[in-house]
Amino acid sequence: MDFLGLPHDASVNGYRIDHLINETSFFVILFFVVTAALMLYACLRHGERHQASYDHGDTWKSFRWTLAVAAAIFLVVDGPLLVESLTDLREVFFNFAYAESQPQAVRIEINAHQWIWTARYAGPDGKFNTADDIVTTNDVVIPQGAPVIIQITSTDVIHSFNLPNMRMKIDAVPGIVNRMWFEAKETGQFDIACAQHCGSNHYKMKGTLTVLPRADYNRWLGEASANSSRGFDPDDAEAHWGWDWAAYSRI
């Protein structure tokens, strides 16, 4: 549903995020309208026509009303949102065991620095930080219909890797490898943005996420591999920022 002006959702699981946003927005709008209507009623009904009567809101009646409204909101709004969020995390967004177990899965390491995204694919040997790695700048290419697992860090300050059309965003933090996974359901070109203000040229951290059909992706991989191995320089230590694919046992 795009009535809130959300970017186009091109991911398999983005609808879960949209559902939470829509549900939250629905209740926020509903309670705003109800509260505004009550205030309007109070203004019109009372005014200067009669003397105001006051109380401190500390009677048992007030206490019970407050408790009842708070409990109702928790049961109808916050509780379900909490349960739905935790279910989404457990079943999908934190379910790395599923993503890692898929034979079609694509693994990408990303290094953020002021003000560029550098992406690294393991290349034909399947190992990161070796001579046959594929390294790209502000350009992430993935296949349609396969889990894409991102491990990400930063060289300098905190950045945030944001894929609005995939409904995914994760902080890139120096000294820490964070991770996320998603799956694109549509081919096309989408924005990569930085979602943490990371310095004067923050706005320049704009990249392109290209989703290709699997066959085209494989062809791109072959070409990029040949280009990257030609550009490989064993003495350029700064360019070898990759790490062994991190295995997580938690969650």
Q: Which is nearer to Cu ion, 198 or 221 (CB)?
A: 198
Minimum CB distance to Cu ion, residue 166 (Å): 18
Q: Which stretch binds Cu ion (CB under 5 A): 102-110, 145-153, 154-162, 229-237?
A: 154-162
Minimum CB distance to Cu ion, residue 164 (Å): 15
Residues 71-90 that bind Cu ion (CB under 5 A): none
Confirm if 144 and 212 have CB atoms less than 8 A apart: yes
Task: State the number of binding residues for Cu ion (CB under 5 A).
Answer: 4
Q: Which is nearer to Cu ion, 6 or 116 (CB)?
A: 116
Q: Which stretch binds Cu ion (CB under 5 A): 54-62, 189-197, 214-222, 238-246?
A: 189-197
Q: Which is nearer to Cu ion, 16 or 159 (CB)?
A: 159
d(CA 199, CA 201): 6
d(CA 213, CA 144): 5
Minimum CB distance to Cu ion, residue 160 (Å): 7
Among 17, 119, 194, 209, binds Cu ion (CB under 5 A): 194
State phi, psi for 20 to the nearest 5 degrees.
Answer: -65, -40
Q: Under the criterion CB under 5 A, does residue 159 sit at the interface with Cu ion?
A: yes
Token pair, residue 250, equals: 């938690």
Q: Which is nearer to Cu ion, 159 or 167 (CB)?
A: 159
Q: Under the criterion CB under 5 A, does residue 209 sit at the interface with Cu ion?
A: no
Minimum CB distance to Cu ion, residue 208 (Å): 16
Q: Under the criterion CB under 5 A, does residue 142 sit at the interface with Cu ion?
A: no
Among 99, 106, 140, 198, binds Cu ion (CB under 5 A): 198
Confirm if 138 and 116 have CB atoms less than 8 A apart: yes
CA 200 to chain centroid, in Å, comes to 23
State phi, psi for 182 to the nearest 5 degrees.
Answer: -155, 175
In sequence order, the β-bridge partners of residue 113 are: 116
Rounded to the nearest 10 degrees, the angle between the axes of helix 79-88 and helix 14-45 is 170
Q: Which stretch binds Cu ion (CB under 5 A): 4-12, 31-39, 88-96, 203-211?
A: 203-211
Q: Which is nearer to Cu ion, 180 or 194 (CB)?
A: 194
CA-nearest of 223, 40, 206 to 124 is 223
d(CA 141, CA 212): 7
Q: Which is nearer to Cu ion, 152 or 205 (CB)?
A: 205
Confirm if 95 and 105 have CB atoms less than 8 A apart: no
Minimum CB distance to Cu ion, residue 136 (Å): 17
State phi, psi for 66 to the nearest 5 degrees.
Answer: -60, -45
Q: Under the criterion CB under 5 A, does residue 205 sit at the interface with Cu ion?
A: yes
Residues that bind Cu ion (CB under 5 A): 159, 194, 198, 205
